Structure 1
């Protein structure tokens, strides 16, 4: 396996992880990060392949449970405004 260039930001992150004492070397930090990535990818695949089709089937069986797109857009816009004002 070739060496990997992490860049300054991630090099500092790895250094902090090592200083915390949680990890013994950079390889342990990278392996932990890869495990998290693997778990995240698996969860996304489950969501796309299992949850989304199930929700779609529910919506097709009972269309009145759906939310109009205008309502969804308004909710997103309100959330964005709130986040912008909180800064």
Structure 2
């Protein structure tokens, strides 16, 4: 039947297109290339993070990220205000 043949071709084309998209294939001309440059500051930051003596740093960040996603992360405004005031006092002492 022609309907079955049409259906079969349609399914094969849809499958082919989805597979091409998964692998980044796009039909047509290549217009240009993109490039990404990482600043020396970013590279230095990554190096500092990797060399960090605090081996639990990543674990702490992951715990915070998870609690934010779960909606259980709480912020203590008094603690934040206390730290801000401490920082202001430190800066006044320096100036």
TM-score (norm 2): 0.31
State the structure with more CA Rg.
Answer: 2
